[in-house]
Amino acid sequence: MTFLFIGTTEIIVIALIILLLFGGAKLPSLMKGIGKGVKQFKDATNGKFDDEDEQNKPKNEAQ
């Protein structure tokens, strides 16, 4: 199962292919979208769910 280990050369080749496919102008927005997705995934696995109802409620609401 040595095919699962990726070295630096392979990472550089993959990065160059991605750069050629998406171009330099679209790359920052692509990485921003991936970063948001990873953050949402981490929050979901940690049990932090953001509901719009909870965000819009006043914090000092009397019950």
> pLDDT tens digits, residue range 11-24?
889 988 988 888 88
- pLDDT mean over 34-48: 87
- pLDDT mean over 29-53: 80
pTM over cut 0.85? no
Compare 1 and 24 and report the one with higher pLDDT: 24
Q: Say if CB 36 and CB 30 are below 8 A apart.
A: no
In angstroms, how far is CA 10 from the centroid of its own chain? 22
Q: Where are the domains of the chain?
A: 7-47
pLDDT digits (tens, 9 = 90+) for 42-57: 888 887 665 544 555 5
53: its two tokens: 């109802």
pLDDT of residue 39: 92
